[in-house]
Structure formats: C-alpha cells, structure tokens
Amino acid sequence: MPGRKILIPIDESEGATKAFNFYKENLHRPENEVNFVNCRYVELPSASFMATEAHVVADILKHSEERSKKILNEYQTKCKEAGIEHCKAWTKSGVAGEAICETAHELHADMILLGSRGLGTVRRTILGSVSDYVLHHAHIPVLIVPKK
C-alpha cells in the first residue's frame, strides 16, 4: 500500500508541536511522507518608509527567513529522532491559511494535520482562525488537533 502525503503546518507554537506529536503517535507509517510548511507573513512598513529605509526592510525579511529555517530544521531533527525517514520542509510566503491550502494543492497532499491555537469565540471572530480557514477551503481531509 503506498504511503500518504501528510502536510503539517508548523511555527513556534504549542499547537504545531501537538500536531506533530499526534502524527508521530497515531498516524505515522514508514511509507508516509511528512511535509512541513512554515508560512511567513511579513508586514512591511508603509511605502514611504520603505523608500527611505530599504536596509530596514531587508533586515526584516532576513530575520523572517532565518526564523523560518530554524523552525524547519528543528522539525526535521524531530523527525530523525523519531525515526521518520520521509520528511520534507517548505517555506511559503503569505497569509497562513491561504498558503497552507496552496501548498497542499501543489504537493498533492492527502491530508492536512494542524494544531489549533485555541482562541476564544470573540478573538476567533475578530482575528479569524487559520484552522477554520483551512477546514473550509482545503479540498482534502483536515485533522485539527485541539489545544487541550
């Protein structure tokens, strides 16, 4: 039986760790391919500020890229420690929910597994929820690991 392609969005949150641990303890099969994606959304200063301070923008982007590489390396190390052989890591720019769905489509993933931040009703209504967006826009199964 061929393995499944699993997409796990990751960041520095507890939710990402819980999603990975859930995969490792409940879903992992040696033939599966685990794909991690770290979504980088960088809010840049206004256009007038950018025109005069280009080096500041370059520093912001460089810092964002370094953080993303660190997170991806951390999860690749976790895979090695857990004996998970087939693992790939990706960085995607843009708004998280959209970038996750786009990555899943590009990779022909079979499932998206993500952690929930556990926002309250009011905050989720105002801020929106990445897991909610992915659940309603992905065209493949989505498994959301709750915060608690």
User: Considering the chain, what is the average pLDDT of its residues?
Assistant: 86
Structure tokens at 66: 């370094």
145 near 22, Cβ under 8 Å?
yes
- Helix (H, G, I), strand (E, B), or coil: what is residue 145? strand
Q: How far apart are CA 28 and CA 74, in angstroms?
A: 18
CATH code (residue 32):
3.40.50.620
Domain that holds residue 102: 5-145
**Top-confidence residue, 62 or 1:** 62
Number of structural domains, the chain?
1
Average pLDDT for 86-106: 94
pLDDT at 143 over 90: yes
Sign of CA dihedral 18, 20, 21, 26: positive
